[in-house]
Each structure stands twice: as C-alpha cells, then as structure tokens.
Amino acid sequence: MIGNWQSVIDKQRMTNLIWLVIALPLAGALFNGIFGRRVGYQVVAKVAPTMVFLAFLIGLGGAFETYARHGKAQLVTLWTWAEIGELNIPISFLVDPLSMTMVLVITGVGFLIHIYATDYMVHHHHGETHPDRDFARFFTFLNLFIASMLVLVLGDNYLMMFIGWELVGACSYLLIGFWHDRGDDPQPAIEIEGGEAVQVAPLLSPAASGMKAFVVNRIGDVGFALGVFLIWTTFGTLQFDQLFSRIASSAEMYRESALHGEFTVISMIALLLFIGAMGKSAQIPLYVWLPDAMAGPTPVSALIHAATMVTAGIYMIVRSNIIYTSAPNVSFLVAMVGALTAFFAATIALVQVDLKRVLAYSTVSQLGYMFMAVGVGAYTAGMFHLVTHAFFKACLFLGAGSVMHALGDVIDIRRMGGLRKKMPHTAMTFYLGGLALAGFPLTAGFFSKDEILAKTFEYSPMLWGIGIVTAGMTAFYTFRAIFLAFEGEPRDQELYDHAHENRLAVTAPLWILAVLAIFGGLLGLPAPLLHGVGIDIPHAMENWLHPVIQQVGHHEVHHLPFITELALFLISGFLGVASIGLAYYFYIVDRSIPQNLARSTHPIFALLVNKYYIDELYNTVFVKPALTLSNTMSRGIDQTLIDGIVDGSAYGIAELGKYLSQLQNGFISRYALATFIGVLFLVGYFFLGGQFPNWIY
Amino acid sequence: MIGAVPLSYYLLLSAILFTIGAGGVLIRRNAIIILMCVEMMMNAVNLTFVAFSSYLDSATGQIFVFMVMVVAAVEVAVGLALLVELNRHKEAVNIDEFNSLKG
C-alpha cells in the first residue's frame, strides 16, 4: 500500500492518479449533499460540473499515457479491501484502452450534461430565476452516479464491477424518482381521422417508475451475482488478468465443446452475466423499465438512460470478451436477443407520441444493435457504436429536454410543431443528432452502425436482415419525431407563443454533442473499404482497443470481399436516406398518409401504441400473482398466524397476571401465612426423606 | 454445667417458643405484637444455637447468636421507626389498615 502511494508521488504519472477520477465526483457529491442547501444553488452549480471536468482531465491524461504505453494495461492498487482465506479483494483499478474509453465517455459527456443541468434545473420566469427546490440533491445524486459508474468501469475485478453495477442502479433509482411527489400522468387518446381513437395508458409516476426500474434490475442482478459466484468457485479468482489468462489457456477447448453442443461451465458463466446485462442494458425480456425511466429529469435520461449506465452491459461483455469467445453458443443468444430487441423496440418507437419515449425505445433498439455486435464477436464495433451512440443520443435527449424546458414540461409531440423558428439552436442540433441516429451517410452513427451490420453479415445474413430493416425504421421514426416537433404548423398556438430558445448553458452542450455526433465517426472509419479504394486510414478505435480483445486460436482475420463491403455500405446508406425521405413525405408533404395508414391497420397501430401490451402481460403474469402471494403471506400467514401466536401468547400472559395479581392484596398477614405454609411444605419434604434435585448442584 | 438437662428439652422449649411466635405473627393484627412475636421466634432460634454450642462444645453457635442479636436490634429499631411513622400517618397500629401496596 505504502509502495503504491510512493509511486504516485515519485513518478507523477496520471495513471497512478486514476483514483482521483472517482474521488473528485465523490467529493463533489459529499460537498453538495452536506452543504448544498446552505451554500445556495449557484455554488452547487459550479462545484458539481467542475469536479466532473477535473475528472475528465485526469482521464484524458490516463488515456494519453495508455496510448503511449501502446495500450498496455496498468494496474493501480490502492489497498486490500478484504482477505478471507483465498479470497483476496484489492481495491485496484485497471487502466487500459477499454476502461479509458469508458472513463472519457462518462466524464466527457457527463460534464456536458452537468453544465446543461445547471440551467435545466432552474426555471426562468419573467426575469426571475427559480432553482428546483431540490437543486442540491439533484447534483449530489448526479455526481454520485458519475463516481459509481467510474467504479464500475475502472475496477479490475468482478466484485468491484458488481459494486459499481449496484451503485449505478441505486443512483438510477434515486434520480428516476427525483420528483417523487408527482403522480401518474394520464395521456389523451390518439385521435385518428375517421377512425376509432386509440387509448394510451397513463404514464407511471416517477416514484413508481423508479421502483419498477429497481425491481426489474434486481432480476438481472441476481443473474450477474450468480455469474460472479460461479467464476469464483470455478477459477478461484475474480481478478480480470488472472481469470482471463486462466480461461485463455483452455479457451479453444471450451469453444470446441460449446460448438459441439455442450453447455460448458464457461457458457453458464457467460449466460448468467448476460442475464445481468439484460437487466442493466434493457434487453428483451427485461427492457420494460427503461421507457418508464423517462419520468426522471431529462439530464438523467440523457446521462444515465442513454449515454452511460445502460451501456454497462456492453462494457461488461467487451471486458469479458474471452468468456464470450469461449462460449459461442451464448454469444449467439446474445446476438439473437440483441437483434430482436433492436427490431421490436424500433417498431414501438414508430408510433409513440411522447418525444422522450421515442428516444427511449430508440435507446433500447440501439443497445440491441450493440449486443448484436458483441454477440457476433465484433467487440470493437460494439464499443464504437457505444461511443457514437453516447454522443448522438445524449444530444437528442438534451434537445428533447430543451424543448420541454421551453414548453413548460410538455413532451407530447402532438402539441408541438413549427418549433424550428422559435428554437433554432435546439432544432439544428436535434437535426444533426437525428442524422447520426438515422445513419445518414458520413455521420458518426452511420460508420458505427455500418460496421456492426457488416460484421453481422459476415456472421449471419439473417441477423443482418433484421438489422437493416431496423436501421430503416430508426431513420423513419427519428425524422417522424423531428418533423412533427420542429416543422409544419404549430398545433398548440398558446404553447408555441410561449416557446423560446434556451440559454447558453443549454445550447453550448447541445452544439458540442452535435459536432461530436457528426464527426465522432472519424474514430472508426471503415478501414477495409478505404483500403480497397487506395486510402490507408487505420480504424482508430480498433487499433486502440486491440490489446483488450483476446484472440482464441489462430483464426485468420478475414474480411469480406471489397465488393460485398461496398454493397453493404451503399445499402445501409441508401436505406437511411430513403427512410428520411419517406418520413418527409409522410409528415411534411402529405399528412393524410399516416392517418390513413393508422386507420386501415388499426389493430396493428393500437398494438404498437400500447407497446405490444408487454407491460399489461407482465402485470398479469408476474406482478399481480406476486402481489397476491405477498398479500396472502401478509394477511394470511403473517398477520393471522404469526401475529396470532405472538399476540396470543402476550394476551395469555396478561390474563394469567390478572389472576395472580389478586394474590398480592397488600395484607401482610396473608403473605406471612403463605410463606409459613411454603416453609411447612419444604420442611415436610425433607423430613420425609426428600432430596434436592440434581440440577440444583 | 447444663449437662444435667438433656438437649432434647432445650430443643422442645425452642420449638414451643418458635411455634408461639409464628402463630402470633400469623394470627395477631397489632403490629407491635407481631414485632414482639418475630423477636420471640428469633430468640427461639438463638436458644437452639446456644444449646447446640454447649452440646457440641463449639463456640460457633454462640457467635451466631451475637450476630442474630445485632440483626434483631437493628430490625427492632427500623421496625419501630416504621411503626411510629405509620401510626402518625394513619393513627392505627392494625396491620390490615396498611394494604395499599398491592398488585
């Protein structure tokens, strides 16, 4: 321990200071939590983003040093947390390309969102400023989240990852339910010209949404915890480096037996860890919590439920890449679940009328893409999409929040329209983010999505088919939302008149993220394709992450033929543009088309609006029986049986006491008589040859 | 010295005295009489101690008697003081008047 501290001082290397990345936001959380209310909101608004920015700078230093080391992993051990028998849990951080990528995304995007939130959590009204009454609490949780997420990605063993995993879940719960006193939000039915209106279920209250998120995540976390236990009992270590080298030595054997239909222990570990990822990263069947998580403040949706926390599952799988490479059967499941989630979430997003929920289902869908990527073994492509998605989805969410802020918390796109004239910056950045999400050629989202699709095509053209259809839908629903919100005539004149562009603290992060959403693709230009046309620009992301991804066996790294690559490239590019064009035609040129479509396909439309009735299904199949069981246990077993025994025995003793207390009547002579009779009995007993019982000795 | 009188006589006398004392404690209602009866019971025990002390030629019994006498003196002092206070309080020495301490 002392030695490590010594090296911190001696070498002055940023890598050894990496613990500060966690400590700074934690200090911010403590400061804002303890003094936040006293020092006033302006101080809080400076402290919280500053801490995250300092953490970002240190992360940047760490990333540069990692680059200088050619991606060699560096372990920074602070102290030993627990040592029980063979179980040794050090508090140590792993500084390698993967963790540094995550650190930069978390602190970088996190900083921008902190800045944004300093204005978003303040209401400007006729020149007066009203900060949210729990302004300090908000930033306490936000800083705490950053620290927790950094524990998750920096920990060098599965236990620290699990601690971070649980901490971010707790922060997510606290922030979804931030406005805990708000109730359910009833939604007006969707009117269809000449058709039957479609009822929309009311939105859950923030408190209930938080609880839903927490409970659904618990289900996944049980799987994750069991996976960690199984790693420990099988390999006797939770340290990444030791564990992965142990697995790597027999990885090929595991892979072969899994390919021959055997379910190995590695497959079991991979499956259990993936169940954890399903919960945290909102995949079928555990995705239901994410759309409801939109009940939280919008910066939370952007930071936690789009850019960082929900990508923890992807990070975990990329970190455990050797486990998943050794378990191709589970990897296939991951890819299938990812593809199905991407597809189903996209179909739901097509018809949602709540701007944030369109983006939420889009997040679920994009996370599905990332799982598809890591499932087919394209770990780098998954990470690349994670990074670009963090840029453009944070941009879009913050844009949606900007609209909400301007309209007084209205998020229903049926009441928007024409907002581009009122909010030029928000509209511009939303367009740019939307282009990236839609996969418009040469934006960041285009390159990352195209890479995933190309790698998937190599693995299975069927999965590619699902992916490419989803890509088309993605472009369509993104621009449907954009056109409905920002173009056309205002549908609610009063709201429109009150709308206004937001301040610099809101628009500046929007612009930075929008620029990243457009140019982030430079991190991973399609190297094989460029090579084919004679330009040698390496795939930066792949080279950077190369040391983290372990190869199993001596498989030739083979690429698709140039012509196939080109065809896939053109197809996805064309589809993106065509879908945007379709959305333009539907929602700008001829608005009667979607109306007619909704009328003629009424049952399907209603099914999509109601999200396939999955919530209702879960309520009937799982929630209601569980509640009935709890009720039976509570009323029948606990209140009747257990309480009956406990209360009954107390009642019996009280009754007995009532009778016995009559003996104590205060007359000394009676007491004396009783004593006398007692003595007579005792003396008589011994006189007649009685003995002390044995236990008295 | 007392060799002429057999031990059993002493014990019998002691038993009679003790029984009278115990009966008095149980039957009488006058607090002063009860105190006197308690004294009588103690002295019956003292008599047994002294008798055995002489019979066994051991001083232990006599030491006990001193102890008992000291305790008895203390008890009388406290008991009489209590009685005086009770009498001031209720103007009565009938023990059945004092029954307010009950469950």
The Cα-based distances of A625 to A221, A610, A617 in angstroms read 22, 22, 12
- Beta strands A122-125 and A87-95, pairing class: unpaired
Q: What is the pLDDT of residues A600-653, one digit of tens each?
A: 888 888 888 888 999 999 999 999 999 999 999 998 888 899 999 999 999 999
**A519: nearest Cα among A436, A422, A601, A576:** A436
So what's the pLDDT on residue A556?
A: 52
So what's the pLDDT on residue A423?
A: 92
- Write down the pTM of the prediction: 0.81
Measure A694 CA to nearest chain B CA, in Å.
30
Q: Confidence class of residue A554 from pLDDT cuts 50, 70 and 90?
A: low
Across the interface, which of B25, B98, B101 has its CB nearest the CB of A672? B25
In chain B, whose CA is at the least distance from the CA of A659?
A: B103
Query: Average pLDDT of A418-436?
Result: 93
Query: Per-residue pLDDT for A398 more than 90?
Result: yes
Across the interface, which of A666, A669, A676 has its CB nearest the CB of B102? A666
Contacts of A672 in chain B (CB under 8 A): 25-26
Across the interface, which of A664, A665, A672 has its CB nearest the CB of B26? A672
In chain B, whose CA is at the least distance from the CA of A657?
A: B103
So what's the pLDDT on residue B3?
A: 58
Would you say A122 and A130 are in contact if contact means Cβ atoms under 8 Å apart? yes
Measure B99 CA to nearest chain A CA, in Å.
4
Handedness of CA B30, B33, B35, B38 (dihedral sign): negative
Side chain identity, residue A143: N
Interchain contact, B96 vs A667, CB within 8 Å? yes
The Cα-based distances of A474 to A9, A32, A587 in angstroms read 51, 40, 15
In chain A, whose CA is at the least distance from the CA of B28?
A: A669
**A518: nearest Cα among A388, A427, A360:** A388
Q: What is the pLDDT of residues A38-93, one digit of tens each?
A: 998 999 999 999 999 999 999 999 998 888 888 888 888 888 888 888 888 889 99
So what's the pLDDT on residue A10?
A: 39
Interchain contact, A666 vs B25, CB within 8 Å? no
Q: Which two tokens stand for residue A368?
A: 């599905």
So what's the pLDDT on residue A533?
A: 78
What gap in Å lies between CA A501 and CA A113, rounded to an integer?
A: 18
So what's the pLDDT on residue A337?
A: 96
So what's the pLDDT on residue A555?
A: 58
Interchain contact, A660 vs B103, CB within 8 Å? yes
Q: Which two tokens stand for residue A185?
A: 């939000």
Q: b/e for A397-431, b at 16 or more Cβ within 10 A?
A: bbbbbbbbbbbeebbbbbbbbbbbebbebbbbbbb
So what's the pLDDT on residue A649?
A: 95
So what's the pLDDT on residue A6?
A: 44
Interchain contact, A666 vs B99, CB within 8 Å? yes
Percent of chain A at pLDDT exceeding 90: 59
Residue with the bigger pLDDT between A13 and A116: it is A116
Side chain identity, residue A389: H
Interchain contact, B99 vs A665, CB within 8 Å? yes
Interchain contact, A672 vs B100, CB within 8 Å? no
Across the interface, which of B25, B27, B99 has its CB nearest the CB of A667? B99
Measure B1 CA to nearest chain A CA, in Å.
32
So what's the pLDDT on residue A324?
A: 93
- Give the side-chain half-sphere CA count within 13 A for A515: 6
Contacts of B96 in chain A (CB under 8 A): 667, 669
Query: Average pLDDT of A110-133?
Result: 89
Interchain contact, B101 vs A666, CB within 8 Å? yes
Q: Confidence class of residue A523 from pLDDT cuts 50, 70 and 90?
A: confident
CA angle A66, A67, A69 (to 5 degrees): 65
In chain A, whose CA is at the least distance from the CA of B29?
A: A669
Contacts of A676 in chain B (CB under 8 A): 22, 26
Which of A664, A667, A680 is the best substitution to test chain B (most B C-beta atoms within 10 A)? A667
Across the interface, which of A664, A669, A676 has its CB nearest the CB of B102? A664
Query: Average pLDDT of A403-432?
Result: 90
What one-character DSSP code corresponds to residue A489?
A: S
Query: Per-residue pLDDT for A8 more than 50?
Result: no
Across chain A, what does the average pLDDT equal? 89
Contacts of B103 in chain A (CB under 8 A): 660-665
So what's the pLDDT on residue A2?
A: 44
Residue A674's H or E segment, with its range, is helix A668-687
Chain centre distance of CA A598: 33
Spell out the per-residue pLDDT of chain B, length 103, in tens: 455 788 999 999 999 999 999 999 888 888 889 999 999 999 999 999 999 999 999 999 999 999 999 999 999 999 999 889 988 888 888 888 887 777 5
Q: Confidence class of residue A539 from pLDDT cuts 50, 70 and 90?
A: confident
Indicate the angle between helix axes A41-68 and A97-120, nearest 10 degrees.
Answer: 160
CATH of domain B2-97: 1.10.287.3510
In chain B, whose CA is at the least distance from the CA of A679?
A: B22
Interchain contact, A669 vs B95, CB within 8 Å? yes
Whether B20 has its CB under 8 Å from any CB of chain A: the answer is: no
Measure A647 CA to nearest chain B CA, in Å.
23
Whether B98 has its CB under 8 Å from any CB of chain A: the answer is: yes
What gap in Å lies between CA A561 and CA A308, rounded to an integer?
A: 35
Measure A662 CA to nearest chain B CA, in Å.
7
Contacts of B100 in chain A (CB under 8 A): 666
Residue with the bigger pLDDT between A50 and A693: it is A50
The Cα-based distances of A94 to A78, A151, A211, A690, B70 in angstroms read 11, 10, 33, 79, 83
Whether B103 has its CB under 8 Å from any CB of chain A: the answer is: yes
Non-local CB neighbours of A346 within 8 Å, separated by 6+ positions:
A361, A362, A365, A470, A473, A474, A477
Measure B38 CA to nearest chain A CA, in Å.
11
Residue with the bigger pLDDT between A257 and A108: it is A108
Query: Per-residue pLDDT for A408 more than 50?
Result: yes
Query: Per-residue pLDDT for A11 more than 50?
Result: no
Would you say A529 and A569 are in contact if contact means Cβ atoms under 8 Å apart? yes
Domain positions in chain B: 2-97
In chain B, whose CA is at the least distance from the CA of A660?
A: B103
SS (H, E, C) A499-541: CCCCCHHHHHHHHHHHHHHHHHHHHHCCHHHHHHCCCCCCCHH
Query: Per-residue pLDDT for A322 more than 50?
Result: yes
So what's the pLDDT on residue A9?
A: 41
SS3 A230: helix
**Following DSSP, what letter does each residue of A438-486 receive, concatenated?**
HT-TTSHHHHHHHHHHHHHHHH-HHHHHHHHHHHHHHHHHHHHHHHHHH
**A507: nearest Cα among A421, A428, A413:** A428
Residues of A engaging B, defined by a Cβ cutoff of 8 Å? 660-669, 672-673, 676
Q: Confidence class of residue A7 from pLDDT cuts 50, 70 and 90?
A: very low
Non-local CB neighbours of B3 within 8 Å, separated by 6+ positions:
none
Q: b/e for A535-558, b at 16 or more Cβ within 10 A?
A: eeeebebbbbbebbbbebeeeeee
CA angle A277, A280, A283 (to 5 degrees): 70
Query: Average pLDDT of A143-151?
Result: 96
Measure A679 CA to nearest chain B CA, in Å.
12
Would you say A252 and A552 are in contact if contact means Cβ atoms under 8 Å apart? yes
So what's the pLDDT on residue A114?
A: 96
Q: What are the backbone angles phi and psi of residue A186, rounded to the nearest 5°?
A: -65, 145
